[in-house]
Structure 1
Amino acid sequence: MARTAPYGTWLSPISAADAAAAGGGPQWLDVVDGEVWWAEARPAEGGRIALVRADGAEMLPAPWNARNRLHEYGGRPWLVAGRSLYFTHWDDQRVYLRDLDTGDVSAVTPEPATPHGVRFGDLRRGTGGEVWAVRETSTGPRRTDIRRDLVAFAYSEIRSLAASHHFLTAPQLSPDGQHAAWLGWNHPAMPWDETELCVAEVRLDGTFGQHRVLAGGAGVSVCQVEWESPSALLALADPDGWWNLHRITLDGTTTNLAPVARELGGALWKTGSRWFVPLGERRHAVLDSGRLAVLDEHAATVTTVAPGLRWAASIAAHDGGVAGIAAGADSESAVVRVELPSGAVTTIAAGADAPPARFLPVPQERVFTGPEGEQIPAFLYPPSNVDYTGPDGELPPYLVHVHGGPTGRNLPVLDLDFAYFTSRGIGVVAVDYGGSTGYGREYRERLREQWGVVDVRDCVTVARALVAEGLADPARLAIRGGSAGGFTTAAAMTTERVFGAGTIKYPILDLAGWTGDGGETHDFESRYLDGLIGPLPETRGRYVERSPLAHEDSLAGPVLVLQGLDDQICPPEQSDRFVKSLRGKGIPYAYLTFDGEQHGFRKAETIIAALEAELSFYGQVFGFATPGVPELELHR
């Protein structure tokens, strides 16, 4: 029989260590000689990225760390060519080769003059045994002093191939070896705003001819391209407002293979992401807003298979089916294979052990209505613990979770960070505010020049709706988020009086500083705010008006700030200034920093400390006991 206890105080078998163990998982999956390989993040090893094979063999043992800083978010970090495994190593950002027969490892690219001064990513097969990649070269002291080009290397020789744009994906070789194709874009566009699909002739000496643009540009985004034949490419592009799959011939003829008002692609945060893969006979596996589907050209249909799973953009054709990385409402990300056409799912490598279902919330897909009739998707994770129930007349506290990006999204899958709170009697709602992906370009562009307005309003709308429905305690609402979600959290806490507490993780707090001129962000996003806030200098007033750092005196309640000290995307300078401004103001706050952490937390000890601090923080602010976790010290 369930015991009655105040919300937030329930005892739970889900520990912060459990959430930390699930914080890694598979990524960058591919098929090598008929076998499934993938990279694997390991929080217990300091966040190291290993490389494993379906039979359990570790193909890249410690201390090697297959990760890179391309665009700071990383690109495809490994490639097998013959019996050679090429990979980028995090510590020095060089490319290495591991002989798969002997296990010997040797450097392919030279040591840069300054640490991380030259970086490589998005490894692809080139001509004549070469590997093609994107090279980033630091050209000065600022974070934005970066030059990029496409390069080829074999052993220790590196040669430049092209530099069509400031930002690039690695070239892909046509089946007949006569052409190369890649994506490029320039500031102030982000890749989900517009990219250009470039094609160049590959000369007999391996050099590239002058490139030409086949598709994209002028408000059209291409997020993935693959060669289908020597004369045609397949590309995910959104000329009609939705990322659909197109065939593009070398003469520029473009055909939408199955026009649908659905997203079959996504935001290109990491080069080498793969939302579709050809299956043969004019059929293609695609990801329909995270669901695996089969696009049939003959019928012009997109049909979902294995509907209970949501997939990462890392799928591959495998033995007549599809292999990839997927999670469900009650399962963490795992490496799985789907048989086609039956849809039968086989687990190749299970994810982290899930707690018993009786302690897990079942995510509920909801759509809320904003003040102007706008539809706001969200996923509700109610308090869930079979051993407890709340007292009669008491409503639970609720956390509004704000995803990053802001060009990102949530998926209704098991999240042990969320379950850590829901199993203790604290509800979570994950909001896909205006600007989120998965709902078409029009929804993404609700945020154009409205960041800090639309996102805050949507989160407030959802929170108030939960209160109106009698699901959440209006006096115990909190908001939490990291990166862009940290900005929205801080913006909500300084402009609204809805949330009584906020957890701000590796945030943006000073908009003018988070630009190329301000010097407090990296090159990839240094002009992002042109679209999110407005061009400079014309709209400089907005940058001040919407910066949480300019309104710290208006905080609605206590805040917890969590920051990695090695973060190059949202550096600690902004969090430092924000917290300094709070001292002596009488508003409770806490500030935890973590050595060796970049953007997002990867080390098990960091994830544990951050989650336990967050739980203690809510308990102190909202007045409930948090047994089993250290008490967080709050300052004023």
Structure 2
Amino acid sequence: IQSLSRSCFFRYADFTASPTHVYCVNEFGTENRLISIDRTSKEQKVVASGADFYASPRVSPDGKRIVWMQWNHVNMPWDETSIHMAVLHSDGTTSNEVVVKDGTGKQINYYCPSWKDDKLLMINDSTDFWNLYEVDIVKEKNIFPVEREIGYPLWQFADRPYASNGSCTIMNVGGRLMARRDCFVREVPTPGFTVFSHLSITEGDIVYTIASGSKKASCVLRIDLSKEEQGPVLTVIRTARDDSDLEQLDISEPEHMEFQSDGVPISAWFYKPKNRRYAAPAGTLPPVLVLGHGGPTGVAVDSLDLKKQFFTSRGFAVLDVNYRGSTGFGTKFRNMLKGQWGVVDRDDMIAAARSAIARRLVDPEKVCIMGSSAGGYLVLSALTHSDVFKAAVCHYGVADLETHKFEKGYNEVLIGKYPEDEQIYKERSPISHIDRIKTPIAFMHGKEDTVVPVSQSIEMYEKLRDNGVTTALMLFEDEGHGFRGADCIRRCTEGTYVFLCRNLGIKPSISSDIEIVNAKM
């Protein structure tokens, strides 16, 4: 292992290498750029600068070219982006930079460029779905046209929704692995696995991926495609939890559910309660916990989540909703949230609850809602516009959009420009309508959160408490935006369960240190 930099002023991410240099994204204060680092002298040189953001630098197999993606405010990496390419020199500098693909002003997203021998591969959404294209400077070819998404939004560096070794290209197509060889595409059977990320493939047609499924914990999965006549051979290299452990648990597998909201088809995953040691009283329906994922440009998938199983094993159903703006359903669906954050997603959550009630899947008097971050904002927005939810839990959710400046460009896309659209920000902020909230709600927040200030949860809690609403507040030391510590996760989960039970008239099976004020039951 060799140290290439000891600077405490720079951040480095998303690496690629040639025999003589390492290339990566470099952040210095508010400036982002691509740099090269000489592996011998450790000298750093700027490869590309001027754009607001960079990602996915990739050196060609012959070491003569480099390709990358870049974009500017107010776009997010799943909005309008461009792909650039330049000639590499032996000293780590570049020349002859060209724009291979430019979606700026065209509402086209290009991302995840890589090399297939001397050809470029990249994903774009010009067909309304993220598909994989083979590209040269003049034209591009969709190598697997399909009305399903290949890939997820680029929230973090270095995910690989596809990989190629030149002769075989492996793709994650909406939860199915597809292999393309000699212009023919076939599905790779992966029994039990439905969620894949970070794909790679060796010269010998060995695929590696992070995989999971509804009854499979996240694992490093090896798939041998080298012997076509006998089919793929799957081997789990390392797993978060052994199958033998999971077999002892009552795992509730999700069922796909679809409903209409404002005439738009919305999908969700419905988990029934499951515990072999208990049976519900005859003629009763279960309580339900309706979940709104974060992002909001995110997605609810059908992989194993033991937090959901915590509730299903204790008699709750869980309904995990892919509201408008979620990924995996095409660009048009994803863009429905632009300018409508806090409106269409809120309506979809309310419609999801009402649909489950209408189908007699759940008890209408025991419908709860929970969400984190953008999902927490969704919880608060829903409570200001509907009484269908009887209890709620908000994890580090946005209450005041005017003070939420962490993702300013993102907010402009989802809401509008500030201060020009100040009135919209006020109207969409749950704290502006706090007097409408009568539903019991608990707030949980990390004290070190730099994305959504903890003061937002504290202010909501104090105002609701003073209004006589049943509420609770749990603050966690040394936790930021997203809970990481085991003790915090345990206390948060137990507190959520106990709070919901007590406000639904259910005797909880465990205890918690959560303190509930203005309790009615």
What TM bracket, shorter-length normalisation? over 0.9
Unmatched 5+ stretches in structure 1? 1-83, 85-96, 98-105, 113-117, 139-145, 516-520
1:608 aligns with 2:500: no
In 1, Cα distance between the equivalents of 2:211 and 2:344? 31
In 2, Cα distance between the equivalents of 1:302 and 1:212? 35
Q: CA deviation at 1:280?
A: 3.5
CA contact under 8 A between 2:132 and 2:143: conserved in structure 1? yes
Instruction: Map residues 325-336 of structure 1 onto 2, 5 A cutoff.
Output: 325-336=210-221
> Deviations along 1:236-263, whole A, 9 cap, x unmatched?
11122111111111x3321111211111
Match of 2:381 among 491, 494, 519: 491
1:109 aligns with 2:6: yes
In 2, Cα distance between the equivalents of 1:578 and 1:124? 46
Which letter maps to 1:205? D
Instruction: Map residues 80-119 of structure 1 onto 2, 5 A cutoff.
Output: 84=1, 97=2, 108-112=5-9, 118-119=10-11
Q: Tell me the SS of whatever aligns to 2:396.
A: strand
Q: CA deviation at 1:344?
A: 3.4
Q: TM-score, normalised by structure 1?
A: 0.76
Tell me the residue number matched to 1:125. 17
Q: Tell me the SS of whatever aligns to 2:68.
A: strand
CA contact under 8 A between 1:437 and 1:444: conserved in structure 2? yes
Q: TM-score, normalised by structure 2?
A: 0.93
1:621 aligns with 2:518: no
Match of 2:341 among 448, 451, 460: 451
The verdict on how the C-alpha distance between 1:201 and 1:358 changes in structure 2, with shifts beyond 3 A counting, is closer
The verdict on how the C-alpha distance between 1:581 and 1:304 changes in structure 2, with shifts beyond 3 A counting, is farther
Match of 1:351 among 240, 244, 251: 240
Q: CA deviation at 1:599?
A: 2.0
Instruction: Map residues 35-50 of structure 1 onto 2, 5 A cutoff.
Output: none
In 2, Cα distance between the equivalents of 1:204 and 1:284? 30
Which letter maps to 2:423? G
1:285 aligns with 2:195: no
Alignment RMSD (CA, Å): 1.9
Which letter maps to 2:219? A
Q: Tell me the SS of whatever aligns to 1:181.
A: strand
Match of 1:234 among 76, 99, 121: 121
The verdict on how the C-alpha distance between 1:616 and 1:401 changes in structure 2, with shifts beyond 3 A counting, is same
The verdict on how the C-alpha distance between 1:209 and 1:580 changes in structure 2, with shifts beyond 3 A counting, is farther
Instruction: Map residues 341-380 of structure 1 onto 2, 5 A cutoff.
Output: 341=228, 342-353=231-242, 354-356=245-247, 359-372=250-263, 374-380=264-270
Q: Tell me the SS of whatever aligns to 2:232.
A: coil
Q: Tell me the SS of whatever aligns to 1:627.
A: coil
Q: Tell me the SS of whatever aligns to 1:220.
A: coil
1:473 aligns with 2:370: no
Which letter maps to 1:390? A
> Deviations along 1:460-512, whole A, 9 cap, x unmatched?
11111111111111111111111111111111112211111111112122112
In 1, Cα distance between the equivalents of 2:114 and 2:215? 33
CA contact under 8 A between 2:192 and 2:215: conserved in structure 1? no
The verdict on how the C-alpha distance between 1:297 and 1:436 changes in structure 2, with shifts beyond 3 A counting, is farther
Q: Tell me the SS of whatever aligns to 1:529.
A: helix
In 1, Cα distance between the equivalents of 2:65 and 2:100? 13
Tell me the residue number matched to 2:423. 541
In 1, Cα distance between the equivalents of 2:343 and 2:87? 47
Q: Tell me the SS of whatever aligns to 1:268.
A: coil
In 2, Cα distance between the equivalents of 1:457 and 1:375? 13
In 2, Cα distance between the equivalents of 1:388 and 1:562? 30
In 2, Cα distance between the equivalents of 1:417 and 1:431? 16
Q: Whose relative contact order is higher, 1 or 2, with alpha carbons under 8 Å and at least 6 apart?
A: 1
The verdict on how the C-alpha distance between 1:459 and 1:206 changes in structure 2, with shifts beyond 3 A counting, is same
Which letter maps to 1:572? V
Match of 1:254 among 140, 143, 159: 140
1:551 aligns with 2:443: no
Which shifted more, 289-298 or 384-393?
289-298
> Deviations along 1:312-354, whole A, 9 cap, x unmatched?
3211114423111111221211111223242332211122244
> Deviations along 1:118-151, whole A, 9 cap, x unmatched?
32211221451x222212222xxxxxxx111112
In 2, Cα distance between the equivalents of 1:358 and 1:566? 35
- Percent identity, aligned pairs only? 33
Match of 1:220 among 76, 101, 108: 108
Q: Tell me the SS of whatever aligns to 1:549.
A: helix
Tell me the residue number matched to 2:328. 438
Which letter maps to 1:273? D
In 1, Cα distance between the equivalents of 2:417 and 2:111? 25
In 1, Cα distance between the equivalents of 2:111 and 2:331? 13
Q: CA deviation at 1:178?
A: 2.2
Q: How many matched pairs?
A: 507
Tell me the residue number matched to 2:309. 419
Match of 1:507 among 394, 397, 413: 397
CA contact under 8 A between 1:400 and 1:428: conserved in structure 2? yes
Which letter maps to 1:605? D
Q: CA deviation at 1:216?
A: 3.5
> Deviations along 1:5-47, whole A, 9 cap, x unmatched?
xxxxxxxxxxxxxxxxxxxxxxxxxxxxxxxxxxxxxxxxxxx
Which shifted more, 488-497 or 301-310?
301-310
CA contact under 8 A between 1:258 and 1:297: conserved in structure 2? no
Q: Tell me the SS of whatever aligns to 1:430.
A: strand
CA contact under 8 A between 1:400 and 1:479: conserved in structure 2? yes
The verdict on how the C-alpha distance between 1:502 and 1:296 changes in structure 2, with shifts beyond 3 A counting, is farther
Q: CA deviation at 1:196?
A: 0.5
In 2, Cα distance between the equivalents of 1:410 and 1:392? 32
CA contact under 8 A between 1:161 and 1:208: conserved in structure 2? yes
Q: CA deviation at 1:377?
A: 0.9
The verdict on how the C-alpha distance between 1:598 and 1:158 changes in structure 2, with shifts beyond 3 A counting, is farther
Tell me the residue number matched to 1:191. 77
Tell me the residue number matched to 1:22. none
Q: Tell me the SS of whatever aligns to 2:36.
A: strand
Which letter maps to 1:316? S
The verdict on how the C-alpha distance between 1:295 and 1:514 changes in structure 2, with shifts beyond 3 A counting, is farther
The verdict on how the C-alpha distance between 1:279 and 1:157 changes in structure 2, with shifts beyond 3 A counting, is closer
Instruction: Map residues 52-63 of structure 1 onto 2, 5 A cutoff.
Output: none
> Deviations along 1:56-87, whole A, 9 cap, x unmatched?
xxxxxxxxxxxxxxxxxxxxxxxxxxxx3xxx
Q: Tell me the SS of whatever aligns to 1:168.
A: strand
CA contact under 8 A between 1:358 and 1:386: conserved in structure 2? no
CA contact under 8 A between 2:83 and 2:111: conserved in structure 1? no
In 2, Cα distance between the equivalents of 1:307 and 1:461? 33
Match of 1:566 among 430, 442, 448: 448
Unmatched 5+ stretches in structure 2? none
In 1, Cα distance between the equivalents of 2:248 and 2:329? 30
CA contact under 8 A between 1:370 and 1:458: conserved in structure 2? yes
Which shifted more, 288-297 or 604-613?
288-297
Which letter maps to 1:476? K
